[in-house]
A and B are shown apart, each in its own frame.
Chain A
Amino acid sequence: MKKQKVIVVGGGLSGLMATIKIAEQGIPVDLISLVPVKRSHSLCAQGGINAALDTKGQNDSTWEHFYDTIYGGDFLANQPPVKAMCDAAPGIIHYMARAGVMFSRTPEGLLDLRLFGGVKKRRTAFAGATTGQQLLYACDEQVRRYEVKGLVTKYEGWEFLSAVIDENRVCRGIVAQNLTTMEIRVFKGDAVLIATGGAGMIYGKSTNSTINTGSAASSIYQQGVAFANGEFVQIHPTGMIGEDKNRLMSEAARGEGGRIWTYKDGKPWYFLEEWYPAYGNTVPRDIAARAIYKVCVEMGLGIDGKNMVYLDLTHLDPEFLERRLGGILEIYRNFQGDDPTKVPMKIFPAVHYFMGGIYVDWNHQTEIPGLFASGECDYMYHGANRLGANSLLSALYSGTVVGPSIVEYLKNIDKTTDDVKSTVYDSQLKYEEEKYKNICQMSGKENPYKLHEEMGDIMRENVTIVRYNKKLKETDEKLQEFMERWNNIGISDNTQWSNQDVMFVRQLRNMMELARVITLGALNRNESRGSHYKPEYPERDDENWLRTTKAYWTENGPRFEYEEVDTSLVKPVPRKYDVDGRQEVKEAK
């Protein structure tokens, strides 16, 4: 039989981890990435990665990590996969340290841990405040080893356009385009993994990198794969609001003792500590973001009447701060100019992470056989709100799951890509070539970047922290209008070499499709749960909405289905952070 091959799209943590797992089994991988994989967005993660390593004498356990994650996610995540992730976490950290990550150590040379939001025990391993960068580099290095061994072929500077799906609805490869030569070609593969991260660019300004358009996920959604829980978008409470983007100030700042405050009646007011005495400044992100929103927008108590509050580190030892949080201090100094060890930082919530994503089974396969998804672009591990430092974990863990499940899938298929009719590949290629040609010839009046800015503005205004049905409806109408206007775009670059305009116009269309999934998903869900908050429906409604949203693409906009959540391990209880609302955490025997 012909040698099998896997295509991995996306060179962030999840894609690289899956690549390592697959190459380790001697199976060749074609790795497709927009950027040199070492520049992937995973490197923006700062604060750390959770694992119940229990090196601080607190009797932590993987069961407690599981319970905190489910509770923090307001019970929307399917429980068994989350349990498996938390159980695997310590082993993943051990491997990453062996592979070169310079995790901060205790005075005895053990892996050090710090506190993060929504938990009571120190469970976050970290490498200064650049943990994502360090983890990404270690995976990049291991993949480079396999590249030298001839098992991995990198295609950096290529954009995924669509999956090749045969007449039996089985995925047989992809079509991609070279960002420099503009060549469009087929990559045949026996299995395809989409590990393309989040889609913050839909909101214009977010903490995400410019490549995080969600274009690849949107493309396979338009090919028939379900997009799950799109309405759950995490707004990080402590963003540094900028003209070009919003930069993240890690939750580690609060974990290490940072305090949030603003002035009330002329005196500092530590509103998180007052409102949530049980957790104080380390409440989960959705809670903190809503509180800051309330203080600034509803009470008008932001600093100088503006939408910002203080994140204060100045009471902490500068040498300690430099060692533990150097990476973020540097970002604040470089981009804002002030020194956070001397003056409090000014912050406001910013769009940060997609809990929702491509619908997959517990082996990370989509509803199309041979097409898999993992990392931020899947929907699996965070329910309605992600706990800080669980994203690096789910990115890596999902990679360790999807790699072996692809290997298993390959054992059970009877066709090779040579047995697939060439017309299957040719017709998809032709479709993408036509589409590209049409975009190149667009000569309307709209500027794509301005259109994008407009879309981002309205999405940030109406589909973030506080959501009203009237506004959501208006937003969806506006999005449909944007889609009309998209047809009237004019391309300013008419060359066929490194043409960034054309690529962006295609991404923009894909962003609009996903924007509708987010907005209509939010409109439908008449309850408040985790990051999704509607003042008109302020309570969680388990009877009607303890369900996973599944959106399917149709010509007339998304069609929604809902699926029961697996709550077989722990019973949903009300989620509270003002008092310790967690039930006694005991592992079921």
Chain B
Amino acid sequence: MAREYIHLKIKRQKDPKSQAYWEEFKVPYKPNQNVVGILMEIRKNPVNIKGEKVAPVVWDCNCLEEVCGACTMLINGTPRQACSALIDKLPEGVITLEPLSKFPVIRDLMVDRQIMFENLKKVKAWVETDGCFDLGPPPRMNEKERAWAYELSRCMTCGCCLEACPNVNSKSPFMGAQALSQVTLFNMHPIGKMNREERLETVMGRGGIVDCGNSQNCVKVCPKKIPLDKSLAQLNKETTLHGIISWLSK
């Protein structure tokens, strides 16, 4: 029988201090919808499955093209973007939506992911340019090397890799693949690599690359299919080598 309704079970929370609770909604089925579209439908008529008028569900979204990373949540338990979660491709039956569990909840499905941007500061994820004036053509770059760096540069800071990582949790200082992989990236840039050592040192202590347990969950959930395993392996090699060289030159 053709699907008539989409049945959603959403984990809701009024604010960071309140208790979370589950609320269910039924929305008439239309083909070619995604999870964001369903949440948009709910706010046009915010009534739950019991027929009670409720506050519309709060969630984060922006580009709806899986490029901005904003609408990341747990959909049937898996961290992914709600915009690219097509209803027709999800198994029939109840769809559960929960906020990411590794970040503090702001309200309903919206979480605070500031920690990831703070970690980018820690690892110095930038090129030390002298100024934004024109200094003529940039250094040449081998297209093969460039193509590998480009893959890493597509990280949209969505948080899926942190959510899936067993070593990222409230008891561990591990910063996760997102920030670490940026070190690999900037250490490949022809000018960025001039600050290679400094950057490596930011990830050699607690919370850095040594805390990676190599579970490789990150690479499985990355929506941009960034080879995070390869990126972290390259970083691991670099830090080890850097450690030995620094020790020898002491």
Contacts and interface: CB of A to CB of B under 8 A. Distances in A.
Interface of A: 17, 20-21, 24, 35-36, 38-41, 43-44, 90-92, 94-95, 97-100, 102-111, 127-128, 130, 133-134, 137-138, 141-142, 144-145, 147-148, 180, 209-211, 242-245, 247-248, 323, 327, 330-331, 334-335, 337, 400, 447, 449-450, 453, 492-495, 497-498, 500-501
**Residue from B58, B138, B154, B156 whose CB has the most chain A CB atoms within 10 Å:** B138
Interface of B is mostly: loop
Interface in B116-168: 117, 120-121, 125-129, 131-138, 140-143, 146-147, 149-150, 153-154, 156-157
Interface in B24-72: 30, 32-34, 36-37, 40, 43-46, 53-56, 58, 61-70
Interface residues of B, number: 69
Contacts of A493: 55-56
B186 interface: yes
A94 B143 contact: no
Given A98-B138, A106-B143, A447-B45, A39 B62 contact: yes
Interface string B170-194: 0000000000000000100101100
A108 B140 contact: yes
B202 interface: no
Nearest to A154: B117
Contacts of B204: none
B140 A109 contact: yes
A282 B84 CA distance: 30
Contacts of A35: 62, 68, 70
B189 A39 contact: no
17 contacts: A21-B132, A43-B156, A44-B63, A90-B134, A94-B138, A95-B134, A98-B191, A99-B127, A99-B129, A102-B149, A109-B143, A110-B140, A130-B67, A142-B132, A144-B125, A337-B89, A500-B56
A41 B62 contact: yes
B15 interface: yes
A144 B65 contact: no
Contacts of B58: 498, 500
Interface of B: 14-15, 30, 32-34, 36-37, 40, 43-46, 53-56, 58, 61-70, 83-84, 86, 89, 106-107, 110, 113-114, 117, 120-121, 125-129, 131-138, 140-143, 146-147, 149-150, 153-154, 156-157, 186, 189, 191-192
B64 A244 contact: yes
Contacts, number: 192
Contacts of B44: 447, 449-450, 453
B129 A107 contact: no
Nearest to A35: B62
Contacts of B107: 180, 497-498
Nearest to B38: A244
Contact of A105 (B114, B146, B157): B146
Contacts of B54: 492
A495 B14 contact: yes
